Each structure stands twice: as C-alpha cells, then as structure tokens.
Structure 1
Amino acid sequence: MSTDFDPRETGFTRDALLEAIRLGQGRASKRDLARELKLTGDQKAFLKTALRMLEDERAIHREGRNGWALSDALPDVAVVEIHDRDTDGELLARLTKPGAPAARIRLAPGEGSGGRSGPALGIGDRALVRLERDDEGGWEARLIRKLGQSAHTILCVLRKDRGRPALKPVDRRSKDDLVPMKGEAEKARDGDLVLCRIAKAERRGGPKPAHIIEVIGRADSPGAGSLIALHSHGIPTEFGEEEFRQARDVKPASQGNREDLRSIPLVTIDPDDAKDHDDAVWAAPDDDPGNKGGWVVIVAIADVAAYVTPGSALDRGALKRGNSVYLPDRVVPMLPERLSNDLCSLRENEDRPCMAVRMVFDKTGHKRSHRFVRGWMRSAAKLSYTQAQTAIDGKPDDKTGPLLEPVLRPLWGAYAALKQAREQRQPLDIDSPERKVRVGEDGKVIGVETRERFDAHRLIEECMIQANVCAAETLEQARLSLIYRVHEPPSAEKLQALADFLGTLDMSWAKGETPRTERFNRLLERARSTPHYATINEVVLRTQSQAVYSPDNQGHYGLNLRRYAHFTSPIRRYADLTVHRALIRAGKFGQDGQTEAEASQLEAIAEDITAAERRAMAAERDTVDRYVALYMSEHVGSEFPGRITGVTRFGAFIRLDETGADGLVPISQLGHERFHHDETAHALVGERSGDTYRLGMPVKVRILEAAPITGGLLLELTTPPEDGKPPRHARGRGRPGGHRGRGGPAGRKGGKTGGKPKKGKRR
C-alpha cells in the first residue's frame, strides 16, 4: 500500500512529488524537485526520506548519481531495436535492456529515414538514441548512432576529381562528410568502393578524417548495387576453409533404411532461374473407399540434415548466415555450392535423400491424416511455374506433355480441394505485388516488372503450407522443442489507428469485435469497388505485425493457423534445418537428429535467425532500390504515373505504377503554404486551404534525381492536391494561388513551376 505524506510537515504530498518528477520529462534531481516544490530548509530535509520511501514502493528508481525517475519513465539515452513501422511507415523502437518498461517509441521525423540526422535504419537494427516525451504520451527517439557494423565502418566511394580527395558515403542518409587521412587515398583509385573507419580528429569541424581499410570494387562496375548492400548490412559472403573442406569431403548419402519413393513421379516446380530445388510434389486420388473424392499428396524436401550435422563447421556457418540472400544479379547461399546446388538439390533423374510427408485430404481439402518418412527419391522432372501452368492451360511442351495426365492434372485436382479449405480458413488476402529486376550479363538493368502469379505458384504454396503445419503438429505430439514461425495479430494501437482512418472514409470498423482475418478480407472486398481500395490495402498491410521465429507458439495470424513451423526450405533457411532434425529425432530416423544441446539453444537460435532474416530483407530491398534508380537514371526529367504510398511528417512517398520504384517528395516542396501531417487521415493537409495529398491518391511525378549509388529517387509532384475545406482559423484569408512551391505542381489557376528543388532523400 502506498504511503502519503502530511503536507503540513513536508510541504508536499506524495502525488505532488510524483507530478514534479513527471514534469521533468519523467526524471529529476533532488535539487530540481526542491525548486519545483518550493521547499524550505526543514522541508528539504524530509525530501530525501520521501524519495527513499517511493523507491521502496518501486514507484520511482535512481538514475545516475543524483537523479530520480518514474518507474514508467525511460532513460535519457538508451539502446533500442527497431521492431516495426506504424501505419504511416514511420519506424517504431523498443528498449533492448531486459526488464525495461514497455513504451511506445517512435523515431523523430527523418531519424533513420532521411535528412542529415543519421545512417539508414531498418527493422531489426539497433541504435543508440536520445529519448524525449512526445505530445501524445509516448516517446520520441533522436538518433545518436547506429550500432553494429555501420557504427564502426562506413562504405564510401573515393573521389579524386576535384582537388582534395573525398570519401562519399553510399548510404544516402549518412550525415558524415569524410576525407581520407594523409596517404590513404593512394590505396585506391578514383571511383573505387572502399570500406572506411573514421579516425580521431585533431580538431573539431569540417570533414572527418578516415582510414581506408578495404577496397571492395568499382562503384560503376556490374553488380555494384549488390556489393554495396551486402557490405552495408554486414552479410557474410565467404565460406571458411573448414566449411569448404567439409563440403568437399562429404560423401553422398546412401539409401540405407530410407523408404524407397523412387517409383512415385515426384516433380519440382520452381522459378525459371532457380539453381537449387529443395521441394518436390506429387498427388493422386485417394483409393480409400472411406474417403471418396479425397486426395493423397506427398511433399518431399531435400534432406540437408544428412550432410549438415549439429555443431559442425557447416552448421556453425549456416547459423551465422541464417538464410540465403537473393539479389537481382546473384545469390548468397546459406550453404556451399556443393551442397546447395548438388548433393542437397533434388535434381532431375538423380537419386536423392529426402524428408517427406504423406498427407491425406478429404474432397473439401481438410486433412484427415499425415505421416513423415525419411525417404529416397528420384525427381521425375524439373519444371518451371510457367511450364506447368502453360501445360494445364492447354499448351504442353515436349517435357510436360507426357506428364500432363499422370502428374500435373492430379496435382491441380488436389489443389482445387485444398483451395476450398483455404477459402473456408480465410487467411489474409492482401495485395502485395513483388518487383522483379531483370539484370543483363553486363550489369545493366533490362527491365523492372511485377512478378506474375499463376495457379502453379498457389498450388506449390498451399502444399508447402500444409507440410509446414504437419511438421509443427508432429513435433508437438512428440513433445519436442521446435522453432515456430509466429505471426501475431495486429496490436490494439494499430487497430485503433485503422479504425480512425476508416472513419475518415465513412467506413466502419467495430473496435470491440475480434480482428479475425476474415474481417480484414471483407473490408478489402468492400473497398475493391471504391476509389480508396489501394489506400485501404496499404493501411491494412501496415496494420499487420511482422512474422518472427520463436520456440513459443503464438500461432500464425496471417495464415489463420494455430501452429506453423518452417520445414520446406532447409537449403536456404536455418529454421527449417532445425525442424528437420527434430523430426528425425521424433521419428527415430537416425542418429543425426536434434540434440539436447540444440534443443536448449532454440530461443537464442530463433532470435539470431530472425535478425538474419531482417538483415537479408533489408539488403534485398536496398539492392532492388539501387538497380531501379540505375534504371530510372535514364529517365530523369520524364513524368510517370504513381500513387502515394506513405505520408509522414517530412514528406510524401510515391510508388511508380510501371516499375514499383519508390521516391520521396519532401514536404517543403508541396506548396507555398505549410502542409501538416494528419496522422488519423493519413494525409498531408494545407494549413490555410485544407487542400490534401492523401495516402493512396493517384498522382503524376517528374523524376528530378536518380542516384544509383545510394538508391535514392527525388520526385516532383505535377498533380495538384485534392480540394479541401479550409480550417476554421484560416477561412476568410483566401486560398493560396499560383504554383504550390518550388518544384511543386502548378496550381489550378495556371501558375508556373519555378525554382530549383531542394535535394531530397528517399526512405
């Protein structure tokens, strides 16, 4: 029970003392408190006792030598991890210190996302920040420095063409101007990509001196975009000598006691350019009279565990990488090529070891039973998605023709049943098109396009989902520890933001109702016939949390599944390898299964591979951005249609329709009047006119600047804002006329675009 103080003796109450601490941003010194409470000498003597009493109650805690802070307050400076984005795309952070209070922390405008305030930050990154209370009861973080590799080294381009040599950071959001230390510039040529370490400056001010510690390659060479991304994100690209030795010396697996599946015509169906094949499928009508109209489906997966054993050099290296990284011009594999492209790849007409699951479904696609086997298979054919789909659509080629009736049609029959169950299950159905950058052998971008999705893609996806569910169920039944793929429901805060936004469009969202996936699907279907569909789809996407790996099962919200574990891609994901080992142990399939040591480390492994996945996603995104900027650099000055995909306190982000390229229009370029960010409406609104640029609004933009080295696009809006209602305080002052700012769109009354735009940076 809390203790109060007699104000007649102390000069303050308990609540008054707590409020005084709160007024000081949640923390204060004893001197600050005495001044705030206007205490006399005798009263000051009791203040120390009062603070100790509140500390015993855990209402406050010490901070530093002389400071006191509320228990729900955060320190002035802290290490945070970027863990999510809000519905407007701004970065959210959380404290990394164990036991730290939960708090809503948002990065201040431009911090980690642009401007001169610091290096680029993405989800999964850690940073040292300064924390301040914001106006909404949360906390705002200002970047001091990014932690990890980029805190110590910076990737730059060496320039020698203008007098004194200079080092230009490739990160478009870096705040550092660098120059090489005396003699360092001789280590590299003009235009080289170099890894630098900032040296201690003898005096303050001016560019920072730096040592050149490694020459990476040429900034204008083919593949420079990938090299930059890999080094910037610290992705391991080399295998150790011991890994190479083990991969070289490993003997191909033998059939042994494996179940012989070679009589079953399993086929691999992958992208056209796939180099490794880790999954194969087969389906047939169930001949069980008790399951009329049902289907048997087999999913066979490469048995990587037969070659990568716990604790080996190959295992340690795979864990360090966490996953393969797929860039437009290359793949950085998790395993050496002898394994990933040879021994572990389910090559056509070659015997291979596998882990397989035989699943039985009824005619409506609901699973009746399943069992895992450690098998010995021979792929009947290597097919691409395009080949398989074209064959089903009535145009088989020489390879798919003989497979059409015995293999492909049964697969499509089974998929028709699985599709019924999927539609009943109602997983999230959000439009999220994927960009594909086609790069030629000379490193030039041939084109940027949206990846097509066929039923062939959906067939394989649904088969893999069902196999992953079976893996989780089997390991739970065996009472073995495993790493789940977890996707949590949206937070209450994000759901509130979604409801507020929909209210601005006169669309309802019942706040008290459980946010089931089918509710989101109904919302999206309702919005499909409205002009706001793209906007609502974008907001719903940003409302969702990010999936993670965890030994604690919290279900997969997006797929609407109670248990889910990655099993189907052990060549390229370490998570799947741990699940394979657990299945080997559960089925008593050999001595190379999960060990007690590995089982005890699954929590740490899950954290490591989640971070590795975030790292790979950031590198892939950055590389695509750089290649797209290279492609768009040939179109500077041209206009393109696009859509506003983000509105923030520092500008509008536009995605171009044709290429999916993303660029920034800084808020300072929107007009003569000041635009403010309406967080609820997801819009930028003119303070005098009420004119609006809203999320999802179709616009036209002109390319002002495209920087392939940084991946940045600076855009100019040529579409005027939507007419708005002037705020009450601005009525009677007249609407602003003429053009809407330097580099901004011409106004509706014929104003001209003028002035040189300020340099902007893309998220």
Structure 2
Amino acid sequence: MAKGKVPTRDELLAFIRENETPVGKREIARAYGLKGDQRIELKELLRDLRDAGDIAPDRAKTFRDPQALTETAVLEIVTVDSDGHLLAVPRRHDDEKDGPAPRIEVVVPSSRTVPAPAVGDRVLASLKRRGKNTYEARIIRRLGSGPKKILGLYEEPDGRHGLGLVTPTDRKLRREFDVRPNDRNGALPGDIVWIEETGGALTRRARVVERIGPMSDPRTVSLIAIAANDIPVDFPEAALEEAEKARAAPMGDRLDLRDVPLVTIDGEDARDFDDAVFAEPDPDHPGGWRLLVAIADVAWYVRHDRPLDRAAYRRGTSVYFPDRVVPMLPEQLSNHWCSLVPREDRPVLVAEMWIDAQGHLKRHKFHRAMMRSAARLTYNRVQHAMNGMPDAEIEPLMDRVVRPLYGAYRVLLAAREARGALDLDLPERLVTLGKDGHIAKIGVRERLDSHKLIEEFMVLANVAAAQALEQRHAPCLYRVHDQPDLAKLEALREFLGTLGLKVPTGQRLRPADLNRILSEVADKPVSQLVSQTVLRSQSQAVYSPDNLGHFGLALARYAHFTSPIRRFPDLIVHRALIAAYGLGEGGLVADDKGRFTEFGEHLSMCERRAVAAERSAMDRYVANFMAGHVGAVFPGRVSSVTRFGLFASLEGTGADGLIPIRSLGQEFFRHDEGRQVLIGERTGETFGLGDRLQLKLVEADAATGGLMFEIVDVIERVERQAAPRSFRAPPGKDRRGPPRRPVAHRGPPRDKGSRRRK
C-alpha cells in the first residue's frame, strides 16, 4: 500500500472487500495517508464505485462489498457438510442474481437447554466475516421452520361442504389435504397446485400458494416434474441480455478448419448441433486413423462469474421432456452461435487424435479453431447411406467423409470389445406426441451403427481430454464410475446364482466378467432381466476431481468434454484445456482451481435432479396414455420384487406398474430377497423377477404417474433353483389355516406348464 498516493480503482475495491467490517472515507484516507485535494479525488472515486454497484453504502456513511452480508441476517439451514458443520444461506439469496452463495458455518449452541437447529430451520444470526465470501454465524434466536410446500391435484368432491381436496403427486405422501374456500387462491378442480400446510398433523388443512396448470393439459405433465424437482426455468434478464449481445467470434489465432469437411450427425428432431466429426487414414501408420472431434466453443461466450455463467451453473444440465427442453443456455447461444449449423463459420474446440490399427489412442492435440460444417446429417440417413441407399446430399460425401468415419469406427469398436467395456444394450423408450400434445405412440428407439459411431468418437475425445489435463498437471473434473459396492455385488451374485449363472469371487470384478454372463443369456428369455439386474448393481456415475476410473467403459481416465451446450462439467473441462494449452480468453480462472470438489458435488446433484425429473415426467405421460386402456390385458414381465408386491413392465410400451401383494389372493406370501421372489407359504407357488405374465390394468393415475395391475395368467416362469427348505410348508400341514385362492382372476386350475410360450 503506497502512502500519500490515491489508490487505483482495483486497489480501493480490494481494500474495501478485504476488510471484515465496513470502512468509511476517513478510514480509507488515513490508511493511504491522503490529504487535501487527494481526499476530494477519493470522494469522487468512491462515488463512481457506488454508482457502478461495485460497493454499497450504509447509513453510517461507510462502504462495504455489496456481496458481503450485514452483521445480522435471517438464514436458512440448508445442509450438513462432510465434517458435520451446519451450513446456511441468506434467506433471500438468489444464485442467479446475487452470485454463488457465501459459505456460512453455523456455530451450534453449547447449551443443552437450547435445541440445535436442523436443516430447514430459519434463524436470526450474527455474522462474522472469516474470509472472502466466508462467514461464521452465531444464532440469536430460532425463527422456526419454513412452511413445507407440497405439489398436488386439487379437486372438489361432492359432499364435502365446500372443502376442496388436494392429493399429493408424490406417491410416498399418503395424506390428503383440505382446502377451505378462502384458501383456494383461484384453483379450479383438476388443477395441479402448490400448497402449504396451515394446520397441524391432525387437521390436514392447507392453502393453495400457486397454480401450475390443469391436469387435462398434457403440457402440465412436464410442469409437474419441473416444479417437483425445482428445475430452474426462467433465465434472469441479465443472462438473456448477455446472450442477445453475443456476436460471431473472431478468427484471431484460431486454427482454420473451414475447408475440412466436418459433419454433424444427430437425430431428426435435434435443434442444436454441438459436435462435428471427421476421419481419414493415417499415412504414417497402416491401419491407423486421424480423427477430429470439433465441439462448440461455449467457453468463448460464457465467461467466468458473468450472469450467463451463474445461470448455467445453477442449472448444471439441460433437462429433456417429451414436449420440451429446459436448456442450460438460452436459445440465442444453444441454437445459434454455439450450434454448428451447415455452411456457417463457428468457433470450436477441437480434439485432434491419432489411433493405431488396434484402436489405441497414440497421441492427441487440442486446438481452438474455426470450422464450417459441410452437412447436417442424421443417424437414419447416414445408416441408409452405408446400407447402399445414399440420398442426394450424402452421395458426394461418401468417399471423403462417410466411409472413413465408419472405417475409424470399426477400429474403435474392436478396441472397446478388446478392453471389455460393459455391453448393456438396453432398449430406450421412444415417445411420439400427437398434435394435441398427448402421447400418440410408445415404442423402442432403433439402435443403429451410426449411433454407436458417434458414441465411440465422443468417448475417445473424452479420454483424450482427461489425458491432456493430466499430462499438463491441470485440474480435471473426471466422470467417475466406481466398481459396484460389495453389498450390491453380493446381491447380484446371489440372484444370478438362482439362474445357474456364476459371478467370479475372490478377485477384482471386471466389466468383461459381466459381459460373459450377458453373452450366456443373450438368446434366452431372461436376457433383458439379467441386463436390468446388472444395471441396477452398478455404482452411480458422478463428477469428481479424484480419478477412480470408469468401470462401465473399462477406462482408466475419463472426463466429459463433448457437450458444453447442455452439461456444465464439459464447460469446466473446456476452460481447463484452454488454460492448460494457453488458447486465449475464457480459460479456467485461478479462483476456480480450488473449487473442483464443490463443482463435482453440485453438478452431480444437478444431474440426479434432471434424471429424476425426466423419469417422473415419462411415468406421468405413460400413465396418461394408459388411462384410456384401464381394464385391458397386456403381456409383461416382473421387473422388481418387494415385500409389498411386484413391479412389472409391459412389453412394447415399457410402462411400469405395481402388482400389490393383496391382489395375489388370500395366501400369505413371503419375500425372498436373495432370489428375488415372493413365495406362497402354503403352496410354495412363486412369483419372481423375469416371470412373464398376462396383466390387467386396473388403475392409471396421471397425476402421480402410478399404474396398478392384477395378474390374469402366468405365461412363463423363469427357471430357478429349488426354494430353500425354510420357505416350504411342512408336508400335510398348513400353517396359515384353510386353503386359500392363490392368485386373483386366474380362472380354473390347470397344468402350469401346458400354456408356456416363448
């Protein structure tokens, strides 16, 4: 600090922000030794900073960092960290408007007469600044818990004397709530609403605080999932303004790839194209290939700690529903400047990679480049072209572009098979909406080689990104998929053992071991059952700065690089690569290098939130579709076994629903968790995972997404080892009383094997 010299703007900002308490003009002048006209200059500088919003004045004529909190504040306890500390946020804090929430560590009262606060509690607390954006809070008094909001279906049944009724959309909440006329807030029968409880546990009263939309409108289905999972929808004005101001990126020092025929290959309904590919034989290595994977340069447009950056980080990922997308970035970027549209210059980050004849990645480079897409291709068109039916646009691209792409793909596929990547080729449900917004058809998405081609190119680029950051000793946000935990692995061994399949013991499990099992059952009726069970045994993939490898892909290192338009982790990896390679503006800033653990936790949560929202929306769409088929009979398979019943998945639609244990008849059924079966104690009759049944749909609730079935007939039972003796009734004895009907709606007794069919 230079004495007797007026500080620069940055020096003054740093001085104010580093002080734990607000400082006035007198304290600043004393600290810098300012006198006379220098004080006038200081006053003008403070006014400029105040008008720009960089500092905030208070009544005592002192100044502080506008992001700094006042000495007392109302806080909400939001979580407990891994060290057991209670963490809070300001009650009115908005990540998008106010930036990342400060770390506020709550000191738990030492007095045993004062109950410790819990997550969800609101408190009035005194704050002491400990560092940049870090505080210690001491509780002055508890203010209670905030009212719990519940999403539900509002109805006005007859005979309730004017009281409305709200049934929660969450199937785990089994209570219903009364709504008095004055608390309806304009809700109409059939509306999906947010409510807050207004009475105790016995009164079941609530008031409507927000209407989401009528359940009769198919668009409401997605809105339920968005609201229930707290998916951010509206961008703040500052973020939208920033996106609107975006312009074409300059060529600058970028590598010029505009003459290289890079192409995008996506689905027919894709609106944004963020990756392009090219391949050619490597003349220096027979059988080897040079590959280019070009990804939209989102880091050029989304800069650190700007409104767009904060909005995208809060979302973490785009969320996809049958009728809409909630994007991570505004459309001005995702569908325009960051979309690799044909014959337009677009800035990209490029992974240039060389593989040998065995598909091993030999070396790689990363470039900031400018490209011009040669064509916007689709999976179906490319596949038709390789099957001998190219259209007019693809025909001239066959020799230079399409055939080389497939040549490189075949080498990569062989490498994947050689390393033993987990091969779970499960069918993906495909939903087609009609003009009215309702589901017109449910089927299975066709899986083509063109899909796999793009996947293998993207996997290779992701591996190269992780390797590049490691080689340059730069921080990396890995995509981590750990081995199955021991409990899940033991459960998998036990279940597969009942099918005569053995998982190796006493050694480290490899994906190839599971592939061998999948291969053994590939042509058997239990194929899908085994695939689903293996999938459920897997650990959840997460983002982390600690590399644990990727078990499913059988890779030692892996990072997401290929989709920064829709995944924030990819944007972080782009920034890290830009900084590591010295590729110019928009790279990782120093302050973020220590935040990778926080990034991993937050972005993994965002991904789980998005998956939950997408899955629940799909369940509700399917239930809405199936509501018109109540009473109909469908073939299906048991997909899960619990102590309260069976879950079954219908063939064709993939619709999942519950078969309550009470519908199996009056016999007492016991749950054998290891073998995944329900066993009748009197007869020994079993219902288990993979059994093929004729099922009658008895209920379809579009609000909750719940389906309920009854068993009409058993088509085919999975052959299992004999039940343990402890599950069989003693010969000649019935421990549960008189004979009971084993299965509801099954008709007269018959030979169980007489009507089996494949």
Q: 2:652 is matched with which residue: 641, 647, 658?
A: 658
Residue 526 of structure 1: how far off its partner (Å): 1.4
Aligned residue in 2 for 1:14: none
**Counterpart residue identity of residue 237, structure 1:** V
**Other structure's SS at 2:260 match:** coil
Aligned residue in 2 for 1:332: 326
Residue 192 of structure 1: how far off its partner (Å): 2.1
Which sections of structure 2, spanning at least 5 residues, go unmatched? 1-77, 85-117, 123-144, 753-758
**Other structure's SS at 1:568 match:** coil
Aligned residue in 1 for 2:485: 491
**Counterpart residue identity of residue 572, structure 1:** R
Higher relative contact order (CA 8 A, sep 6+): 1
* 1:670 and 2:664 are equivalent in the alignment: yes
Aligned residue in 2 for 1:757: none
The Cα offsets for residues 538-595 of structure 1, whole Å up to 9 and x where unpaired, read as 2211111110000110000000000000000000000000000000001100132001
* 1:745 and 2:742 are equivalent in the alignment: no
* 1:559 and 2:556 are equivalent in the alignment: no
Cα separation, 2, equivalents of 1:150 and 1:296: 58
Pairs within 5 Å for 1:120-139: none
Residues 357 and 738 of structure 1: CA distance in aligned 2, closer, same or farther (over 3 Å): same
Aligned residue in 2 for 1:10: none
Residue 506 of structure 1: how far off its partner (Å): 2.9
Aligned residue in 1 for 2:731: 731
**Counterpart residue identity of residue 332, structure 1:** V
Residue 328 of structure 1 contacts residue 436 of structure 1 at CA under 8 Å; is this kept in 2?
Answer: no
Cα separation, 1, equivalents of 2:525 and 2:418: 28
Residues 687 and 747 of structure 1: CA distance in aligned 2, closer, same or farther (over 3 Å): farther
Aligned residue in 2 for 1:26: none
Residue 348 of structure 1: how far off its partner (Å): 1.0
Residue 192 of structure 1 contacts residue 215 of structure 1 at CA under 8 Å; is this kept in 2?
Answer: yes
Pairs within 5 Å for 1:154-303: 154-162=150-158, 163=160, 164-201=163-200, 205-206=202-203, 208-288=204-284, 291-303=285-297
**Counterpart residue identity of residue 445, structure 2:** R
Aligned residue in 1 for 2:82: 98
**Counterpart residue identity of residue 173, structure 2:** S
Cα separation, 2, equivalents of 1:151 and 1:306: 42
Cα separation, 2, equivalents of 1:317 and 1:654: 40
Alignment RMSD: 2.5
**Counterpart residue identity of residue 732, structure 1:** G
Cα separation, 2, equivalents of 1:199 and 1:340: 43
The Cα offsets for residues 112-131 of structure 1, whole Å up to 9 and x where unpaired, read as xxxxxxxxxxxxxxxxxxxx
Residues 746 and 674 of structure 1: CA distance in aligned 2, closer, same or farther (over 3 Å): farther
Residue 145 of structure 1 contacts residue 151 of structure 1 at CA under 8 Å; is this kept in 2?
Answer: no
Which sections of structure 1, spanning at least 5 residues, go unmatched? 1-80, 82-94, 101-143, 752-763
Cα separation, 2, equivalents of 1:497 and 1:186: 50
Residues 165 and 661 of structure 1: CA distance in aligned 2, closer, same or farther (over 3 Å): same
The Cα offsets for residues 383-405 of structure 1, whole Å up to 9 and x where unpaired, read as 11111111111111122122122
Q: Structure 2-normalised TM-score? A: 0.77
**Other structure's SS at 2:343 match:** coil
Q: 2:459 is matched with which residue: 465, 475, 479?
A: 465
* 1:546 and 2:540 are equivalent in the alignment: yes
The Cα offsets for residues 137-189 of structure 1, whole Å up to 9 and x where unpaired, read as xxxxxxx9999999821122222352422222222332221122441225222
Residue 671 of structure 1: how far off its partner (Å): 2.5
**Counterpart residue identity of residue 733, structure 2:** R
Residue 667 of structure 2 contacts residue 740 of structure 2 at CA under 8 Å; is this kept in 1?
Answer: no
Aligned residue in 2 for 1:438: 432
Cα separation, 1, equivalents of 2:503 and 2:513: 9
Residue 492 of structure 2 contacts residue 534 of structure 2 at CA under 8 Å; is this kept in 1?
Answer: yes
Residues 309 and 737 of structure 1: CA distance in aligned 2, closer, same or farther (over 3 Å): same
Residues 283 and 184 of structure 1: CA distance in aligned 2, closer, same or farther (over 3 Å): same
The Cα offsets for residues 183-226 of structure 1, whole Å up to 9 and x where unpaired, read as 1225222222221111134xx634x2222211222221131110
Residues 363 and 495 of structure 1: CA distance in aligned 2, closer, same or farther (over 3 Å): same
Residue 728 of structure 1: how far off its partner (Å): 4.7
The Cα offsets for residues 654-712 of structure 1, whole Å up to 9 and x where unpaired, read as 00111000000011221221111101111111112211111111111111011112111
**Counterpart residue identity of residue 358, structure 2:** T
Residue 738 of structure 1: how far off its partner (Å): 6.8
Residues 379 and 151 of structure 1: CA distance in aligned 2, closer, same or farther (over 3 Å): farther
**Other structure's SS at 1:183 match:** helix
**Other structure's SS at 1:403 match:** helix
Residues 719 and 147 of structure 1: CA distance in aligned 2, closer, same or farther (over 3 Å): farther
* 1:692 and 2:694 are equivalent in the alignment: no
Aligned residue in 2 for 1:583: 577
Runs ≥4 residues deviating over 3 A: 144-151, 529-532, 720-730, 734-739, 743-747
**Other structure's SS at 2:184 match:** helix
Residue 750 of structure 1: how far off its partner (Å): 10
Cα separation, 2, equivalents of 1:621 and 1:502: 27
Cα separation, 2, equivalents of 1:459 and 1:294: 16
**Other structure's SS at 1:250 match:** coil
Residues 151 and 405 of structure 1: CA distance in aligned 2, closer, same or farther (over 3 Å): farther
Percent identity reads: 44
* 1:706 and 2:700 are equivalent in the alignment: yes
